[in-house]
Amino acid sequence: MKLFFLSLLLVAAAPALAKPPAANSYAELEKANTALAAQDYSLAYKEYRRHAEKNGLAQFTLGLIEQQGWGRRANPVAACRWFARAAQAAVPAAQQFMGDCLAQGVGQKADGPTALRWYQAAADQGLAGAACDAGELYISGTIVDRDITRGLALCASAAQAQSTPAMMKLATLYHEGSAVPQNLALARYWYTQAAERHVHEAQFHLGVMLSEGQGGEADVLQARFWLEHAAMEGYAPAYLPTAILYANAPLDPKTGALSPEDLAKLYMWNSAAKATTQDPTQLAEITRIEALTLNVMPPQWKPELDQRVAAHLATLNETKHAPL
C-alpha cells in the first residue's frame, strides 16, 4: 500500500515537471524504488540520498520517508526540509506538501501567503486538490484573510476537476454547517460524487443521509447499497448501520420473516461490528440484535457465517478487503 501511494504520487508528478528530465529522473531511482518496495528502508534511504543532490523526485521521496516514518522515527521537520527542496525542483506533490508544511507551521512559523503560493503552483501543474487546500485556508481565516466565497469556489473547482479530497471537504463543510452555512442537499450531492469514486467514508455518510432523509428524500434501499459497499471494503463504522438496515428489511410475505439471505447478512454485519467496536452504546445495540437474530437463525448456519466474518476481518489491514 505504501509503494502504491508513492507510485501514484511520482507518476502523477513526473509528466508535469518543469525542470529538465535529468534533474528529476525517475529511471535512475530504480534501485531505490525496488528497495522501498521490498521494505528495505535502509538501502532505499541510502539510494535516494545518493541521488538527492540533483534529483527532485529523490528529494520528495526522502520527505515521504521522513514524514511516514518508514524504517525510522517520523520526523516532520526533516520531511518538510526535503519537500522544500523538491518543491523548488518543481515536483508538484512536493509543492502541495510544502504548502501543508507552511500552513501547519512545521518547524517554522505558519506562513499563509507563502503556503497559498505553493498550493497554487501545485494546482497549476495539475494537482487539483491543492486548490482546495488553498480554499481551506481562506475558509478558516486563521493565517490568511478570511474569504469563504473564494475558498468555496477554489474547492468547487478542484472537486469539478475530479479531486475526491475536495469533494469530501465540500461535503463535510456543508454537512457540518460550522465554517459555512449548512446545506444538506449540497452535502449529499458531494458525498454522492465521492462515493461513486469509491471513497468509503463518503459511501458511509451518503448511506446514513439516505437512510435518514437528510438533504432529500429517504431511500432505504440506496442507503443499504452504499453502506454495504463501505462495509465490504472494511470501513468499520458502516458495519452496524448495515446490520440495522438488514434487521429492518421487508419481511418475506410467504413466511412473515426475513429472507434467509437478509438474515445471514444481518448476522454477519452485526458480528463484524461486534468485533471492531468498543463503544458501550453500540455494543449494547449489537448484543440486542445478536440475541434476536440467534433466536430465529438456524444454529447450523453459525459456524460457516462465523468463518466468513473472520475471513473478512482478517483482511482489514490489506489493500483490498474480501467481501462477506
Q: Quote the pLDDT of residue 23.
A: 59
Q: What type of residue sits at position 54?
A: K
- Compute the average pLDDT of residues 103-113: 96
Q: Which residues pair with 252 in a beta bridge?
A: 257
Is the pLDDT reported for residue 210 higher than 60?
yes
Q: What type of residue sits at position 68?
A: Q
For the stretch 250-296, pLDDT in tens is 999 999 999 999 999 999 999 999 999 999 999 999 999 999 999 99
Is the pLDDT reported for residue 57 higher than 70?
yes
Dump the DSSP string for 248-314.
TSPPBTTTTB--HHHHHHHHHHHHHHHHH---HHHHHHHHHHHHHHHHHS-GGGHHHHHHHHHHHHT
Query: 219 versus 15: which is more confidently predicted?
Result: 219
Cell (9 digits) for 76: 516532520
* Predicted confidence band of residue 11 (pLDDT cuts 50, 70, 90): very low
Query: Percent of the chain, pLDDT > 70?
Result: 90
Query: Percent of the chain, pLDDT > 90?
Result: 88
Cell (9 digits) for 300: 447450523
For the stretch 134-145, pLDDT in tens is 999 999 999 999
Q: Quote the pLDDT of residue 24.
A: 66
Q: Quote the pLDDT of residue 259.
A: 95
What pTM value is reported for the model? 0.86
| Dihedral, CA of residue 293, residue 297, residue 300 and residue 305, to nearest 10 | -50
Is the pLDDT reported for residue 3 higher than 60?
no
Is the pLDDT reported for residue 324 higher than 70?
no
Is the pLDDT reported for residue 20 higher than 50?
no
- Compute the average pLDDT of residues 13-22: 45
Phi and psi based region of residue 141 (left: phi greater than 0; alpha: psi -120 to 50; beta: remaining)? left
Q: Quote the pLDDT of residue 45.
A: 97
For the stretch 147-204, pLDDT in tens is 999 999 999 999 999 999 999 999 999 999 999 999 999 999 999 999 999 999 999 9
Q: Quote the pLDDT of residue 16.
A: 46
* Predicted confidence band of residue 206 (pLDDT cuts 50, 70, 90): very high
Q: Quote the pLDDT of residue 101.
A: 98
Is the pLDDT reported for residue 315 higher than 90?
no
